[in-house]
Structure 1
Amino acid sequence: MQRISVIGNISRDHIRYPDGRDGHYLGGAALHIALAAARAAPVAVIGDDLAPLTREPDLACLDWSALRRATGNSAAFAMDYDTHGTVHCTSAAYGVSHQLTTHALGHLARHSGDFYHLCCRRPLHVPALLSRLATAGARFSADFFLPSARPLLAAAAPWLPAADWIFVNAAEYRLLARTVDPAALNAVIVTDGPRPARLLHHARPVAEACPPTTTAVELTGAGDTLTGTFLARRLVGATPAAALEAAVTAAAHHTANRPLPLPALYRP
């Protein structure tokens, strides 16, 4: 399988729910997507606080060759979920992830044959990466995060028709459709919580998959798990429908499990 390089954050996440539950966990879209894809390479920058994560047994399947460690703190986010399951990012400290754009551009220059997934999140300079991917003729996909989706979709718009796949939830798709003509997009995967996920090809539905019923323990990372699973299945030749079915099943199972703990040497 073509290696998947996942460009994005690996972070310390403080997650709070309306029922009073909260906790500090290891997170970041790059980590969740790479884990779901298995043997993928997170292209990320972490600080001293997360240095032990490369020795965590649960993460041994990952290719850490594209991870950069820098002096300072890793990205840290506080996220609140409301009663509808919508996430709101209440604080962000980007730390050493400000170096991610430069690091990712260097990785792309050395490994243009990889398949790239771009987690379109701050502080990444999204146009710089997308323009370089397009110029290099690299295959790539992208996803967004609702709290920052509006400005980053606008920034990404000129290059989105070149993407193999774009991953959005229902609210993000509405923003996407106002920004780019959906008919110009090769493939868009639209999720909607427990409702069926849809695969659109140039705005036309071509596949749909309904997630199995589970008792949700944790919502964070479910969409990323869907993304990584879909990419891995498609890149080894699964049909779009089969890849979507596997992806929604993996995402549902993800919600039934406890989130990843922070590395043993770091506790808030």
Structure 2
Amino acid sequence: MKRLDVIGNVSRDVTRYPDHRGGAHLGGAALFVALAATRAGRPAAPVCVLGEDLAHLPQAQRLDGIDWSARGEGAGPSTTFDLRYDLRGELVDVRTEYGAAERLTDHALAHVDRHPDDTYHVCCRRPLDAAAVLGRLVHHGATFSVDFFLPSAENMIRRTAARLNRASTVFVNAAEYLLLLSIIDTSTLREVVVTDGPRPARVWALGRQIASVTPPPRSPNEVSGAGDTLAGTFLAHRSQGATPAEALAEAVDAAARFVAAPPYPIPAQRRT
């Protein structure tokens, strides 16, 4: 089975909710997509740039299933996200310091050139130049999927619109799907997975709905990373021959379990 190379951030996150949930923990789309795919049976590697503060992650026990060989390392701190949510789990505000991830585009482009036959998932969010990366993937004829992050989704969708019909799967939430509909003809997209919090998740293929799954009721603890968990699980099961409906059911269940679980603590560096 081909490895899934996940281009995106691995970060330090601080989440805040009105009911005082949240706090500091490990985050980043590249991490959670890769971790979910690995747990669903598909080898996966974050294509990321770790700062000095997270350079020890490859030795962390809870993350030892991930293939860290595609990572880069840079001077200074890793990306940090300060994320504020409402009680429904909708993102209200985000503040970001990209740190070492400012090198992510160059690192990703070099990785694609070295491994043009790999399968990719691209987390289309800053500071990545997603248009350049998708252009390089299309140039090499690589198989790839994409997702977006609402604060930058409109800009990213517009910049990548010409390449999205080459994606195997596009992952969006309900608000991002409305942006997608306003920018491109979604009937040209092979597969679109649309999530909507506790409401049904759906799969659309060439403009036609082909699957719908309602998440099981779970009391949410941490929503940051749930969509990434869904994406990684869906991609893993699709690569193993599951139908869109079967893969969506597995992905929705994995995301529901993720939001009910405690967040990942930032592991301490091991003493030598």
TM range, normalised to the smaller chain? over 0.9
1:24 Cα offset (Å) = 0.6
Matched, 1:225 2:229: yes
Asked if structure 1 preserves the Cα contact closer than 8 Å seen for 2:16 and 2:83, the reply is yes
Instruction: Give the residue type in structure 1 aligned to 2:85.
Output: Y
Residue 126 of structure 2 corresponds to 122
TM-score by length of 1: 0.97
1:23 Cα offset (Å) = 0.8
Residue 248 of structure 1 corresponds to 252
Matched, 1:35 2:35: yes
1:216 Cα offset (Å) = 1.2
Q: How does 1:161-180 map to 2 (within 5 A)?
A: 161-180=165-184
1:84 Cα offset (Å) = 2.8
Q: How does 1:152-191 map to 2 (within 5 A)?
A: 152-191=156-195
Gaps of 5+ in 1: none
- Counterpart CA distance in 2 for 1:60 and 1:206 is 36
Asked if structure 2 preserves the Cα contact closer than 8 Å seen for 1:16 and 1:23, the reply is yes
Matched, 1:46 2:74: no
Say what the alpha-carbon RMSD is for the aligned residues: 1.1
Residue 143 of structure 1 corresponds to 147
The runs of 4+ residues in structure 1 deviating greater than 2 Å are: none
- Provide the aligned length of Structure 1 versus Structure 2: 266
Matched, 1:87 2:91: yes
1:67 Cα offset (Å) = 0.7
1:239 Cα offset (Å) = 1.3
Gaps of 5+ in 2: none
- Counterpart CA distance in 1 for 2:262 and 2:130 is 31
- Counterpart CA distance in 1 for 2:212 and 2:117 is 30
Matched, 1:3 2:3: yes
Matched, 1:14 2:18: no
Matched, 1:211 2:212: no
Asked if structure 1 preserves the Cα contact closer than 8 Å seen for 2:22 and 2:222, the reply is no
- Counterpart CA distance in 2 for 1:262 and 1:110 is 31
- Counterpart CA distance in 2 for 1:240 and 1:130 is 24
SS in 1 for 2:48: strand
Asked if structure 2 preserves the Cα contact closer than 8 Å seen for 1:77 and 1:89, the reply is no
Residue 59 of structure 1 corresponds to 63
1:31 Cα offset (Å) = 0.2
Q: Percent identity over the alignment?
A: 52
1:262 Cα offset (Å) = 0.7
- Counterpart CA distance in 2 for 1:83 and 1:236 is 36
- Counterpart CA distance in 1 for 2:153 and 2:56 is 31
